[in-house]
Structure 1
């Protein structure tokens, strides 16, 4: 296993956005906006110029430009031309709204029809990286597992989102958080310094086995050297089935090699809970948490159906009372920034969170923009974007 760090450019160039995905000119032309193709044809007829693009996003983000720049380098190498890429922020750095992320300089004829495709590989990644950073910082002592793949529209999006989680995680670890320790599949595991994806069993295996305990036994027989992470909500008996598994494997439980995963859906409460008892559980373990004013969404995270803070506290309480203090709790189901913040406020005793909810909710916030700010080194930009000229002037100041 390698150190968990942001992948270097050599690895990125060899990833799924590597040479075989850099796209030939015909494919680029087919996938880009028509006016960029026409711009290239006009420039080629009337004379090429050297241009500098400023690339920015209208909201605060975490810089995660690695996949996009690796792709650009591959395109340039395959096309036999050069692009100067100046990153203004290191990967994982916070970037304010409207601040240029990077400058791209080169032939206008060669860059014009790349704008659509390079922006596709940038905006959503930086926003998702910001979300992952916020989630990890909200629960700094919790390990996160990236489970974005099932929510993505194909592998290209999956790779972008996994990379975003890894970059946001690196930023959070710089500030002392544990962050994302891995992800759920092999293809993007190297982003997290891992060779393989992490995970044990879906609900389907429990349905196949006929009981939670039998599924755990099957898993343990096939993977005897792995830690045992067991879903416990299939039959609505999270506590009963969870304790049954612990009693079946007492040595694993005592060694901290059993984790119970809560994925209770939002249509019901954890076994034995209702609104009143959920209030009581939180009041017993984290007095005052629910006494402050809450929005309806915050209250649901704390004492509502599904995987609430009260549900996590109740499972922890049951495990400790039964003599299994070393058994860990894994939680999943909608753990975005808001839910992680609510869990932190309730001091929820969760050890690992599995989530893909760093994927941006509001897609319009992910739109990145590229504007030319210099033609043959002469500063020029459309009215309303003069702030980009100021940024360029500061860059060129001796």
Structure 2
């Protein structure tokens, strides 16, 4: 990062020119984005500035520059408005010109996750949101994305890496792979899983392996009894659960639909398993969760995956003052923000 390996070349070229010309302008850099959003990535951006700002020495060494900078910022998890200044960096531009790609990139990525998670948390009205997109993206993003989801209100994450920044652990359900490993017998897989982990985890079991979620949910509940925390409905968007085959024609039956949730809930209640929760997953986003909640569908928690990675939340940084004098690109004038806090 200090060398500029991860930076857009024009920023490293900028540093080269300033150092070559021994030109050390004291600038105010202003950072903003254009959405109503939830701020993420601030702690990472500050760490990049703290560890990687500075000047290269003639002997190949490095002289840190953080102590020569004045940085003010909002906090991770803050709700932000379009065009609101979220960070300012004041100091010798040559000390941090090469870092713009990096701090804007982490702000963009983590804010996207935080905004999307906050949207589904609000839609769920206080019901738990389980953050499940790890398998849909590069493993390297897990730690920071997990933190961004956590500060935005996600209750659980699926990997230890995602939970590492607050000392948590990944959580999950009895997966299809384990069920397949026991010959497609969901009950057998669930029993062995509970035998191993019931004292550590809230046991939740996927019940769509045979595309008969009502029957499988009852079998699992009967077998595990009080060890079962919940069942997870995850019917593919191209499939119709067996319990709905005789009702097709009155609604769109594919995937996890309200009618399927109601059937599972009533069956569990009628069999004396009223304490077993229902987790719904598979293609859920804020809009779909809101529809379920407005319809009173008896879901206890939502597992959300790919929708939390979609969209964009780009940031821009502009020099708005040079050596104490306003100097900004037209349309990008300085916008002071009294909400900013000094960072040391």
TM-score of the superposition, structure 1-length normalised? 0.76
Counterpart contact for 1:128–1:358, Cα < 8 Å: no
Where does 1:25-64 land on structure 2 (aligned, <5 Å)? 25-26=2-3, 29-46=4-21, 47-64=23-40
1:354 has 2:298 as partner: no
Paired with 1:379 and 1:358, the residues of 2 have a C-alpha distance of 41
Aligned to 1:121, the other structure's residue is in SS state helix
- Indicate the residue corresponding to 1:204 in structure 2: 177
Paired with 1:375 and 1:278, the residues of 2 have a C-alpha distance of 68
- Indicate the residue corresponding to 1:289 in structure 2: none
Paired with 1:394 and 1:163, the residues of 2 have a C-alpha distance of 26
Q: How has the CA–CA distance of structure 1 residues 50 and 111 changed in structure 2, closer, same or farther, with 3 Å as cutoff?
A: same
Paired with 2:274 and 2:88, the residues of 1 have a C-alpha distance of 53
Count of paired positions: 327
Aligned to 2:280, the other structure's residue is in SS state strand
Counterpart contact for 2:53–2:96, Cα < 8 Å: no
Q: How has the CA–CA distance of structure 1 residues 243 and 40 changed in structure 2, closer, same or farther, with 3 Å as cutoff?
A: same
> CA offset at residue 48 of structure 1?
0.8
> CA offset at residue 106 of structure 1?
2.1
Where does 1:372-383 land on structure 2 (aligned, <5 Å)? 372-383=319-330
Where does 1:18-167 land on structure 2 (aligned, <5 Å)? 23=1, 25-26=2-3, 29-46=4-21, 47-64=23-40, 65-76=42-53, 79-82=63-66, 83-87=69-73, 89-155=74-140, 157-167=141-151
Counterpart contact for 2:146–2:161, Cα < 8 Å: no
1:195 has 2:179 as partner: no
- Indicate the residue corresponding to 1:287 in structure 2: none
- Indicate the residue corresponding to 1:270 in structure 2: 241
Paired with 1:71 and 1:312, the residues of 2 have a C-alpha distance of 46
Q: How has the CA–CA distance of structure 1 residues 86 and 323 changed in structure 2, closer, same or farther, with 3 Å as cutoff?
A: same
Q: Deviations along 1:103-125, whole A, 9 cap, x unmatched? A: 11222112111111111111121
Aligned to 2:149, the other structure's residue is in SS state helix
Q: Deviations along 1:236-282, whole A, 9 cap, x unmatched? A: 11111110111123343xxxx431111111111223115946958xx
- Indicate the residue corresponding to 2:208 in structure 1: 233
Question: When you count helix as a share of all residues, which structure comes out higher?
Answer: 1
Aligned to 1:160, the other structure's residue is in SS state helix
Q: How has the CA–CA distance of structure 1 residues 275 and 115 changed in structure 2, closer, same or farther, with 3 Å as cutoff?
A: farther
Kindly report structure 1 stretches of 4+ aligned residues shifted beyond 4 Å. Answer: 274-280, 393-396
Q: Deviations along 1:341-360, whole A, 9 cap, x unmatched? A: 12212222111222234534
Counterpart contact for 1:246–1:258, Cα < 8 Å: no
Q: Deviations along 1:9-31, whole A, 9 cap, x unmatched? A: xxxxxxxxxxxxxx3x23xx222
User: Structure 1 unaligned runs (5+)?
Assistant: 1-22, 170-179, 281-302
- Indicate the residue corresponding to 2:231 in structure 1: 260
Q: How has the CA–CA distance of structure 1 residues 217 and 110 changed in structure 2, closer, same or farther, with 3 Å as cutoff?
A: same
